[in-house]
């Protein structure tokens, strides 16, 4: 991550298409409410969850590698120990500019690999909170 996290946050939040790995179909869970907020605020949210068929009236992909649309940002709602594998999947795609792990989720080694590959990384921050801060 660059020294100026504010610039990184602004850059990532300026993107439009967000694949949410671990998106939940259960209202009340952060993995549901945060992507719903993003969807309601103009982002194109692509749910990724192998245990759901539809979330927010949208088809759900089993894995990041299955997503056919272009992805700008991969937002991760999975435990920290799963981040490495998700980051590797993101790095296999040429379209992913940024990787964002939600509050409490981080993997510094995976983040370093992504940054070394030219991707922006934001760890352990909530996209909804950061968006609200900048929209107030």
Q: What is the CATH number of the domain that holds 90?
A: 3.40.50.720
Angle at 66 between CA 107 and CA 80, to 5 degrees: 15
Q: How many domains would you assign to the chain? A: 1
Q: Containing domain of residue 72, as a range?
A: 5-135
Strands (E), the chain: 17-21, 44-48, 54-55, 58-59, 73-76, 98-101, 120-122
Stated pTM of the model: 0.95
Asked if 49 and 104 touch (Cβ cutoff 8 Å), the reply is no
Question: Which two three-digit tokens encode residue 42?
Answer: 């103009």
The tens-digit pLDDT sequence of the chain (136 residues) is 444 688 889 999 999 999 999 999 999 999 999 999 999 999 999 999 999 999 999 999 999 999 999 999 999 999 999 999 999 999 999 999 999 999 999 999 999 999 999 999 999 999 999 999 988 7
């Amino acid at each position: 991550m660059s020294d100026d996290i504010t610039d990184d946050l602004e850059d990532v939040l300026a993107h439009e298409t967000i694949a949410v790995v671990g998106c939940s179909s259960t209202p009340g869970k952060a993995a549901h409410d945060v992507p719903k907020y993003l969807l309601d605020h103009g982002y194109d949210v692509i749910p990724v969850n192998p245990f759901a068929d539809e979330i927010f009236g949208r088809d759900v992909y089993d894995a990041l590698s299955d997503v056919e649309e272009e992805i700008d940002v991969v937002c991760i709602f999975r435990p920290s120990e799963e981040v490495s594998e998700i980051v590797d999947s993101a790095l296999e795609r040429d379209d992913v500019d940024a990787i964002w792990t939600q509050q409490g989720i981080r993997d510094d080694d995976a983040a370093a690999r992504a940054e070394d590959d030219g991707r922006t990384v934001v760890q352990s921050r909530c996209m909804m909170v950061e968006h609200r801060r900048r929209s107030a």
